[in-house]
Structure 1
Amino acid sequence: MCLLALIVGAIGGIGAWAFRLLIGLLHNLLFLQEAQLAYDANQHTSVNPWGMGIILVPVAGAVVVTWLVKTFAPEAKGHGVPEVIDAIHYHGGTIRPVVAIVKSIASAVCIGSGGSVGREGPIIQIGSAFGSTVGQLLHIPARQRITLVAAGAAAGIAATFNAPLGGIVFAIELLLVSINVRTLLPVSIATVTATYFGEALLGTHPAFDLEVLRTTDFQLQSPWLMMSFIPFGLLMGLASILFVKGIYWAEDAFDAMPGNEYTRHCSGMLLVGIILFAMFHVNGKYFVEGIGYSTIMDVLASRLTDPGFLLFLCVLKLITTFLTIGSGGSGGVFSPAMFVGATLGASFGLTVHMIVPGFPIDVVMFALAGMAAMIGASTGAIVTASVMLNEMTDDVNIIMPVIITSVIACAVRKLISPSSIYTLKLIRRGHIVPEGLQAALDDARNVAHLMSTNYQIVADDESDPIPSSTKVTILGRDGEIKRLVDPLVPVVQQSADTPVSWVMVRPGDSLVSTLRKMHLAGVSIAVVTSTPESSSVDNVVGVLTPRELHLYRTELAELFE
């Protein structure tokens, strides 16, 4: 597993680099008429050789994206992470290999042609698909395959944002179904490997490389400033609800439109093209094109100081994101969420400063807290957002504002809209997945904690009818277990020709291993014996039936309510 994680991590790092090059090539061809790979997403595209023809660039991208998704991999549509979560919880970590190829090309075309989506969702799905493919080729158990899927996703996040801790925490918060050394070791190896390859190919600088953000010493902030992040967190919670609901409202609206996938996606991207042309015509910059990092850099560098214009950009980014994803685009939601959080946070901070001039406001701090809050509240990954923002900026002083804002924002979103942007998509298709971690109490239980002594041992005489009892009846012959009678199973199903099957386990065997053994054997009863190697009735000390498992699960439900 460690060796496989190393391979998955290497592919994650190299894949993130290759994905960026592909985006750069397509962006330069479509926006600049140049066949170049180099593209700095943190800088504005300040040239428009197409004139009004720029409106059709997103439409051309829409045609290609729709063809790829419709023809080869419908899973590549949208922001990708829900498909990974669905594969983990409902398909044993199985993802079709073609998804990685189609997702990378479709998302690169969508982003390169101006679609308002991020590059993190695609690389998560690409890394996950590769991890799943490796697991399928080697025929490893589902639990290990799921670990490789999570490792691939974590590797993608780490390499994309140069945030190894963020990648690990992302896997913990959203993907892993079991968190222990067995799962964390491969995930950590993949994440570190991907980060190393990413830094070697893309550079060691943080995602938002600004001197003003590089603080290595903690500074005690004003308590009034800290308290101001409470109402700001409430605002960000409402904004995250709009972000989550808006994307699916747009999907429903476009799905209800007459026509087909091509006409729907092209119509949505035509509106995006009109917005891009209008923004460039008026301001000389597109602002909301692609992943939007250039505008975020403007906010963090305090180059945008008009709260009204910042709020306008926030609304415009929401609209273009809804149009892009809702109409059928392919790409992530992290980057649009950060854009919305940065512009809304800076607008909030500047507005407070205008209303109360003497208030100790740090506008950039509000922008950073807004970025983390939008990611954390909309995805449910609060710790991931907090850790990632610290890694992406090298600013240690944002930790407390980020935590305050993110937790409050997520609480507001959870109260009003229980589903995150990831889980809502799955719920709409009838697949419920947990949002949050729960203690792995199954791993702390053994058979002795659950087994029942409500059984009886009687001599097996096939000429006599099966005795009626509320207990599990173990029928023995010559001191050996021959048959079982379960009072919960109809007698007609327990004849001598079709007896109830069982497995034999020890009292000290773990519950998880016992359940796995029962599943593999296709039985619902375990006979608990002091010596499983022997089938002597004298060694039987208990039974484990669906009744005991049901009672155990009922008691656990009270703890997790």
Structure 2
Amino acid sequence: MHHHQPDILQNLRREFSSGRLWLDRTVVLAYAVIAGLSVVAFTFLTNQAFAYFQRVYHWQGGWAVLVWIPTWSAAIVWATRRFAPTTAGSGIPQVIAALDPAVAEAERSIFVSLRLTLAKLVLGSAGFLAGMSVGKEGPSVQIAAGVMRHARRWLGPHSGISDHALLVAGGAAGIAAAFNAPLAGVLFAIEELSRKLESRSSGLIITGIVLAGLMGVSFYGNHSYYGVIVVPPLDWSALAPGLMVVLVCGALGGLFAKVMATSLTGAPERLNVLRARFPVRFAAAGGLMIALMGLATGGATFGAGSEAVQHMLAGHADVPAFYVTLKFIATWLTAWCGVPGGIFAPSLSIGAGVGHNVSLLMGADIAPALIAMGMAAFLAAVTQAPLTAFIIVMEMIDGHALVLSLMAAAMLSSLISRLIAKPLYETLAAHMVAVLKAPAAPDPSAPAADAPPH
């Protein structure tokens, strides 16, 4: 049996013979750059919006937020339901719903489109301006996916690049650009969005993800999201506090996923009936509760929670012990009200709070390691995507010394969470598809009273 060696010249000739093929590749990569830039723009807007909110909070002792947050949350929910109902919530379930085989190609624009990208940019930034407990990572996924899907109209009929591939590339590019974590973007594409990458276009998709990530690096620098933590050598004495962090995060994360899914899929409870009948008033009431919780924690529960995490990792945290509970409730309320915003960053801050509390309780001198493990564990428990969770945290803190600890924490907490709740994003996506396909809903893009657009 003769093994023929590849003919280099023949392969090169074949590769460069089709100008249309290279044009299609150029289009995809150009759109990947635009997707990355759109996430950079969103990051800039959210930073500016939250900085303005901070000025409002620090004005006259902070009491202005009792009017500011309810007013803005009501306005955001009204605008969301009126103009772009499928931008409510994270954005990740929308992309998963668009990838569902039951959703026809023409119906995908209900969940992901260039128009929704623009709406998410504005409404997602407004959530930060309001001081709600939101993150930018979930919205970044929907924003970048909307940009990438638009590339379809410029591709040739025989490009071999499907709508599915473009949506996966866009969603993963959103994660890569938002977290400055290209590896996490690739894993997110495989683990959370597609479950597999199409072999024909996988190289192009990964190149696009990296390009989008490079856009974030070129504007914000190649640095870790939370800086570089210094971890002392870990020994067997770290096992008990580490295990406690993982067990608490696994149980809390599973509870969070269960509560979110129950609330957002319209379970027939009295409060959900009120929410369906009076969504704007419900949002105002939720905003008032979020304002009160923020005042009780000295402003720590407002926004994504990134500053609180940085303070904890630096060893001079100024958050109260009940921060975890209030951040948990504030994040749930924000999503339940229907405000466009993600739960990645708030989840990381809740997990960091658990790690910080355990280090104080057990007198552990390895607080940074416990905080990092808490971040990976809680995010893995909420999303039930442990590989993505531990890679994201590792890239955000430059925590290569903690690879095995973060991996073990994410895997174990995800297993605990599975005993309590179904995967959150898949549950919300399945609900959206069910609402879309329901015969009683003639226009799925319209804000239906009995179908919360999450």
TM-score, length of structure 1 as denominator length? 0.67
Q: CA deviation at 1:297?
A: 0.7
RMSD of equivalent CA atoms: 2.5
Worse-superposed segment, 67-76 or 313-322: 67-76
**CA-to-aligned-CA distance 1:56-115 (integer Å, 9 cap, x gap):** 222232233223311222110111111100100133563332111111111110122111
Counterpart in the other structure of 2:203: 185
Matched-pair contact (CA < 8 Å) for 2:165–2:198: no
Q: What is the aligned counterpart of 2:323 among 295, 313, 326?
A: 313
2:357 equivalent to 1:334: no
Q: What is the aligned counterpart of 1:425 among 424, 428, 432?
A: 428
Matched-pair contact (CA < 8 Å) for 2:189–2:195: no
Q: CA deviation at 1:188?
A: 1.4
2:45 equivalent to 1:22: yes
Gaps of 5+ in 2: 1-23, 436-454
- Structure (1 or 2) with the larger CA radius of gyration: 1
Counterpart in the other structure of 1:529: none
Q: CA deviation at 1:228?
A: 4.8
The verdict on how the C-alpha distance between 1:400 and 1:71 changes in structure 2, with shifts beyond 3 A counting, is: same
Counterpart in the other structure of 1:304: 317
Counterpart in the other structure of 1:76: 87
Counterpart in the other structure of 2:400: 396
Q: CA deviation at 1:400?
A: 1.4
Q: CA deviation at 1:8?
A: 2.8
1:147-158 aligned within 5 A: 147-158=165-176
Letter in 1 for 2:148: G
Counterpart in the other structure of 1:348: 358
| Separation in structure 1 between the aligned mates of residue 254 and residue 393 of structure 2, nearest angstrom | 21
Matched-pair contact (CA < 8 Å) for 2:390–2:406: yes
The verdict on how the C-alpha distance between 1:429 and 1:204 changes in structure 2, with shifts beyond 3 A counting, is: closer
Q: What is the aligned counterpart of 1:134 among 139, 145, 151?
A: 151
2:32 equivalent to 1:9: yes
State the SS of the aligned residue for 2:362.
helix
Counterpart in the other structure of 1:413: 417
Counterpart in the other structure of 1:274: 292
Letter in 2 for 1:424: T
| Separation in structure 1 between the aligned mates of residue 147 and residue 412 of structure 2, nearest angstrom | 36
2:225 equivalent to 1:207: yes
The verdict on how the C-alpha distance between 1:326 and 1:214 changes in structure 2, with shifts beyond 3 A counting, is: same
Q: CA deviation at 1:271?
A: 1.4
The verdict on how the C-alpha distance between 1:408 and 1:83 changes in structure 2, with shifts beyond 3 A counting, is: same
The verdict on how the C-alpha distance between 1:4 and 1:425 changes in structure 2, with shifts beyond 3 A counting, is: same
**CA-to-aligned-CA distance 1:303-360 (integer Å, 9 cap, x gap):** 1288xx33x000010111111111111111101110110001121122122xxxxxx6
Q: CA deviation at 1:191?
A: 1.7
Bigger share in helix: 2
Matched-pair contact (CA < 8 Å) for 1:58–1:110: no
Matched-pair contact (CA < 8 Å) for 1:154–1:171: yes
| Separation in structure 1 between the aligned mates of residue 203 and residue 336 of structure 2, nearest angstrom | 37
Q: What is the aligned counterpart of 1:248 among 244, 257, 261?
A: 261
Matched-pair contact (CA < 8 Å) for 2:114–2:150: yes
Bigger share in strand: 1
1:152-551 aligned within 5 A: 152-210=170-228, 213=229, 221-226=234-239, 228-251=241-264, 252=266, 254-257=271-274, 259-279=277-297, 285-304=298-317, 309-310=320-321, 312-353=322-363, 361-417=365-421, 419-429=422-432
Counterpart in the other structure of 1:540: none
| Separation in structure 2 between the aligned mates of residue 267 and residue 386 of structure 1, nearest angstrom | 36
Worse-superposed segment, 382-391 or 142-151: 142-151
Q: CA deviation at 1:176?
A: 1.9
| Separation in structure 2 between the aligned mates of residue 321 and residue 139 of structure 1, nearest angstrom | 43
| Separation in structure 2 between the aligned mates of residue 322 and residue 266 of structure 1, nearest angstrom | 15
| Separation in structure 1 between the aligned mates of residue 365 and residue 295 of structure 2, nearest angstrom | 35
Q: CA deviation at 1:26?
A: 2.7
Q: CA deviation at 1:137?
A: 5.5
Worse-superposed segment, 257-266 or 290-299: 257-266
| Separation in structure 1 between the aligned mates of residue 301 and residue 134 of structure 2, nearest angstrom | 10
Matched-pair contact (CA < 8 Å) for 1:154–1:190: no
Worse-superposed segment, 17-26 or 375-384: 17-26
Matched-pair contact (CA < 8 Å) for 1:92–1:146: no
State the SS of the aligned residue for 2:132.
coil
Matched-pair contact (CA < 8 Å) for 1:131–1:149: yes
Letter in 1 for 2:144: G
State the SS of the aligned residue for 2:200.
helix
**CA-to-aligned-CA distance 1:180-224 (integer Å, 9 cap, x gap):** 5424212211221112111111122110024xx167xxx863134
Gaps of 5+ in 1: 34-44, 280-284, 354-359, 433-561
**Structure showing greater relative contact order (alpha-carbon pairs closer than 8 Å, 6 or more residues apart):** 2
State the SS of the aligned residue for 2:424.
coil
The verdict on how the C-alpha distance between 1:228 and 1:270 changes in structure 2, with shifts beyond 3 A counting, is: closer
Q: What is the aligned counterpart of 1:85 among 96, 105, 122?
A: 96
Matched-pair contact (CA < 8 Å) for 1:64–1:109: no
**CA-to-aligned-CA distance 1:478-507 (integer Å, 9 cap, x gap):** xxxxxxxxxxxxxxxxxxxxxxxxxxxxxx
Counterpart in the other structure of 2:114: 97
**CA-to-aligned-CA distance 1:145-177 (integer Å, 9 cap, x gap):** 111111111111111111010111100101125
Matched-pair contact (CA < 8 Å) for 1:68–1:102: no
